[in-house]
Structure 1
Amino acid sequence: MLSNWFAQNGWAEIVWLTIGFMAQAMFSARFLVQWIASERVRKSIVPEAFWYFSAAGGAMLLAYAIYRQDPVFILGQAFGLVVYARNIYFIWTERRAGEPGHEG
């Protein structure tokens, strides 16, 4: 019974499971964002929001992986965060280069 599971595992486990499920939903939402954006222009594109969902979901999943002490999961999420952060950096750098006073 579900109430027994909650009694045996405690609130910390419930909180971490909630974080894990929310993280997975955030991470999965990036594909929905990419799909909708591509359908609108009828070609494959990666919108800026994809990288923000990736970073948020990846950070949350990394926290969950650390809590679970899963080295495979930790390594995979940590590497992904580097890629997401780098892409966000490129977006911000390109945007800043287009601002007045930042030419060159």
Structure 2
Amino acid sequence: MSMPWPLPDDNWLAGTGDQPEPDSGDLRIEALVAQRLSIDWTTRRQQISVSVQNRVVILSGLVSGTDARQVAGELAWDVPGVVDVCNTLRPRNPRRGRR
């Protein structure tokens, strides 16, 4: 017995409901947040990933310090349509206690 191998253009998983289609509003918010982060002087050269689910912005990655983390969160909040921001950005060199 042989099983047919699906071709790349065959969308045989469509309709199974395994993965929801991205909301166009979420894609718009993601693009606007990424654009603002790339324009701002504080955040433009940072390693920030942006994702959006149900109008909630999720920021992840590494930044130079707490100022860049705070500015990134504020820029995300300023985008129209955002209902919440999950800021999981971490500073590259966290301050360590002095001896």
Q: Same fold (TM over 0.5)?
A: no
Please identify which structure carries the higher strand content.
Answer: 2
TM-score scaled to structure 2, two decimals?
0.32
TM-score, scaled relative to structure 1: 0.31
Name whichever structure is richer in helix by fraction: 1
